[in-house]
Amino acid sequence: MTIKDRNDYGQFDPHRLVFHMSIGGVMICAFGAAVSIMSVLGTLGWQVINLRIDRLGDYLSSPLAYVYNICLLFAGASFVIAMLGLFSMRYNNFSRYIAIIGGCTGLGIMLLGIYPYNDADSHRLAALVFVNSSLAMFVLLIFTRRNNQELCSLPMFFVALVGLASSIGLLAQIDPDTLDYLSCGSLEQFCPVAMTMWIHTSATMLAGVGLALMARSLIHQALEERRLKP
């Protein structure tokens, strides 16, 4: 490989970092959630859908809370590293803004792993950081679709809309006196907070996948433009 080839190959290192760390973070998060859900599924059955997802990290009630919280910690760290890669791409100002806000979202995920459900006061603040930063990320992705479509595909745009709606829904269900979500009834009853949390978590994970695919798309786009140059 010539020096020029090595330089050409190396210029896409930030793109690869975004792709691999975003996908890795989503896979870690999905693994932690799936394992924790399976640990309570035998007891709760399909009523688990009425269980707030953050209760999977409750050391007092969730059998595999430590797995869930460790996975959140590593998933958040992976997303922060991915956003460092996105910032290093220096594609344009929008990509830098997404990287900064996305990094804050990753930090919020890490905080949720550090301060689980049973650490009530700290967990509430961590949840606020996560929801507000993800809200900002979804808003930015929606605006990015208007001005830089290569950074936000149509599927990711719809994911951002769902994420925005669920973020607003979560904030609307916070008790301003306690900064905690409105309490749910028994697991036999439908819980709007729990359902909104599941939707919001899914949208955040899908946004991570979308950012990974965006980075890969930019690599292919750059290579195609280079191939077409005379």
**36: buried, middle or exposed (CB in 10 Å: 19+, 13-18, 0-12)?**
buried
Q: What are the boundaries of each domain within the chain?
A: 3-228
The answer to whether residues 100 and 87 touch, using CB atoms and an 8 Å cutoff, is yes
Distance (Å, whole) CA 110 – CA 114? 6
2-29 pLDDT, tens digit per residue, is 444 444 545 667 778 888 898 999 999 9
Q: Are strands 180-181 and 174-175 parallel, antiparallel or unpaired?
A: antiparallel
Classified as helix, coil or strand, 176 is coil
pLDDT of residue 222: 64
Phi, psi (rounded to 5 degrees) for 178: -110, -10
Q: pLDDT-based confidence at 110, cuts 50/70/90?
A: very high
Residue 153 and residue 123: Cα distance in Å, rounded?
Answer: 33
Distances (CA, A) of 150 to 51, 74, 153, 155, 221: 37, 28, 6, 12, 9
First and final C-alpha spacing in the chain: 22
Global pTM reads 0.87
pLDDT of residue 50: 86
Predicted pLDDT of residue 9? 46
Task: Please answer whether residues 89 and 95 qualify as being in contact, where contact means their C-beta atoms are separated by less than 8 angstroms.
Answer: yes
pLDDT band at 120 (very low <50, low <70, confident <90, very high): confident
Q: How far is CA 173 from CA 41, 136, 148, 161, in A?
A: 26, 18, 33, 19
Average pLDDT, the chain: 85
CA angle 125, 131, 133 (to 5 degrees): 100
